Amino acid sequence: MTVFFDLDRTLMDFETAENRGIQAVFEKYRNEISMDFDEFKIQWKKWAQYFFDEYSAGKLTFDGQRKSRIAKIFELNGSPVKSGEELDRRFTLYWTTYEAEYSLFSDALPALEKLSSLKIRMGIITNGDSENQRSKLKRAGITEFFSPIVISSEAGASKPDPTIFQKAMELSETPRDKTWYVGDSTEHDIVPARKLGINCFYLNRKRQAPLRIESEKPFYAEIKDFYEMTGIIEQKHAQNET
């Protein structure tokens, strides 16, 4: 059995850090911004995802998608930024604030320690720049939990392309019926993994309804936290051991 995790918004609280970074830019350049903060945040996230997807598709460099999101948000506010240095300066403000706030969800480390104690293999499947994603794992102190670590910039494919999931299974030498995946995005994580027959946990921290397991072969459930996940994994692991 190998349990793969997505990184941002799954193990790591990306959204809180992102919101603080956006707020720092908004406050610093408020005199150049026509939107209120709520609209500014909505537009920032919309275009950040758009340009990150362009990077994932090989249409932009990693640095290019960073500059593009800053250029777009200030263009939308009627204050175009033409200088590459100024784009970098504004992104750096966002990024330094983001990094200071970026951290593990409180239930992540206990879950990793629990699975590790059961000697269950764990891996990472994440989109992004190799150096950036590995740095996040290192700063959080969780790198040693994972092998393999499969990052889109290294694998040559990005989620939702099924190739990156297939690459992960090959590296772990785990058959699909023994492969589990935990992610927060139906589009990028769950749909492609399920198409390959991988057992899936959809992490939805806003879920209000009771836990419901929708499928057993391959397994699928919508979980609200890692405590629900570890309970199920522990049960499945015990069944495999008997």
Identify the burial level of 115 via C-beta atoms within 10 angstroms of its C-beta, where 0-12 means exposed, 13-18 middle and 19 or more buried: buried
Q: Is 202 exposed, middle or buried (0-12, 13-18, 19+ CB in 10 A)?
A: buried
- Quote the pLDDT of residue 242: 45
Q: Which pLDDT value is given to residue 241?
A: 61
Residue segments in the chain with a per-residue pLDDT below the cut of 70: 241-242
> What pLDDT score does 23 carry?
97
Task: Identify the pLDDT of residue 122.
Answer: 98
Judging by beta carbons within 10 Å of its beta carbon (0-12, 13-18, 19+), is residue 136 exposed, middle or buried? Answer: buried
Q: What is the DSSP letter of 211?
A: P
Q: Which domains are assigned to the chain? A: 2-13+105-241 (3.40.50.1000), 14-101 (1.10.150.240)
Comparing CA positions, the residue from 18, 30, 26 lying closest to residue 100 is: 18
One-character DSSP codes across 125-153: EE-S-HHHHHHHHHHHT-GGG-SSEEEHH
pLDDT of 239 reads: 79
